[in-house]
Amino acid sequence: MTRAEYGVTLLEVMIASAIAAVIAIGLTTVEGMRARTTEEIRRQAGLMEPERKNAALAAVHIAKSIETADRFNLDPATGVYQMRIPVCPTTPPLPACFDSGDNYEWRQYRLTGGELRLYRKLPWLPTNPACPTAQVLAREIAVLTIDEDPPPNANRVTYSVAWDNGPRDQVFQGNVMTRFRPTEGSPWGLATTDISPPPGACP
């Protein structure tokens, strides 16, 4: 008589049941861990949004400004960080574009009362005031620093945005290579004969 005629033994049923139980418990455990992990991620995101996201976006904004700037007027003592951005209508820009002050935009980043503020000075707008309305990039910011690295990396600028959320402090930082070597006047200053000198600092 063949095995098929005998059917399945009780021992085989018990072994199969035990294996099935182990697999079921394992799947339940994995799904439970996945659910708990997903819930923890959602909870943490809820704790950190929206200001953590705003701080990260502000750090990216600063990095892009440093990367495209051709002049700095940085004053770490007062927390005023100004950057000049060439704005030319053609790509690649015509050499004459850089001879007009109307083709430069000044951006000022400043930390005031926990608010990281951006002021954009657009000289080609006739009604542009000396201190335009500030755009608040992020709140709950503890520290903003922008520093030129010492030689031989004088073209590299280090930036850092520290975000304060009680015990969960966050820091967004990095290094950006600039397109120029700031040698006019002081390391942070500009020559007074510059075609587009920095505007007065905004509060």
* Mean of pLDDT values over 19-28: 60
Give domain status of residue 202, yes or no. no
Q: Do 132 and 33 belong together in one domain?
A: no
Asked if 71 and 34 sit in the same domain, the reply is no
pTM, two decimals, is: 0.69
Q: Which of 22-31, 145-154, 163-172, 193-202 has the lowest mean pLDDT?
A: 22-31
Of the candidates 73, 115, 69, which has an alpha carbon nearest to the alpha carbon of residue 199? 73
For the chain, what is the domain count? 2
Are 44 and 134 within one domain?
Answer: no
Judge contact between 44 and 53, C-beta under 8 A.
no
33 and 56 in a single domain? The answer is no
Cα distance between residue 201 and residue 134, in whole Å: 12
**Do residues 126 and 168 both lie within one domain?**
yes
Same domain, 40 and 135: no
Is 44 found in the same domain as 17?
yes
The reply to whether 7 falls in a domain is yes
> Do both 18 and 60 map to the same domain?
no
Determine, yes or no, domain membership for 194: no
* Cα 154 to Cα 175: distance, rounded to the nearest angstrom: 12
Domain holding 24, by residue range, is 3-48
Q: CB-based burial of residue 164 (10 Å sphere; 0-12 exposed, 13-18 middle, 19+ buried)?
A: middle
pLDDT, tens digit, for every residue of 139-151?
889 999 998 777 6
**Residue 30 is assigned to a structural domain of this protein:** yes
Do the domain assignments include residue 182?
Answer: no
User: How is residue 203 written in tokens?
Assistant: 């509060």
80 is a domain residue:
yes
Asked whether residue 198 is assigned to any structural domain, the reply reads no
| Angle (nearest 5°) at CA 119 between 113 and 121 | 155
Say whether both 33 and 94 belong to one domain: no
Q: How many helices (H) and strands (E) does the chain have?
A: 3, 8
Report d(CA 164, CA 18) in Å as an integer.
Answer: 52
Asked whether residue 106 is domain-assigned, the answer is: yes
What is the Cα 198 distance to its own chain's centre? 25
Q: Are 10 and 57 members of one domain?
A: no
The answer to whether residues 28 and 73 belong to one domain is no
61 vs 53, higher pLDDT: 61
Read off the pLDDT of residues 85-106 as tens digits, 9 standing for 90 and up: 988 888 888 888 888 888 899 9
Q: Is the pLDDT of residue 11 over 80?
A: no
The amino acid present at 181, given as its one-letter code, is R
Q: Average pLDDT for residues 97-122, to the nearest whole number?
A: 91
Residue 50 buriedness (CB in 10 A; 0-12 / 13-18 / 19+): exposed
pLDDT of residue 137: 93
> Same domain for 78 and 107?
yes
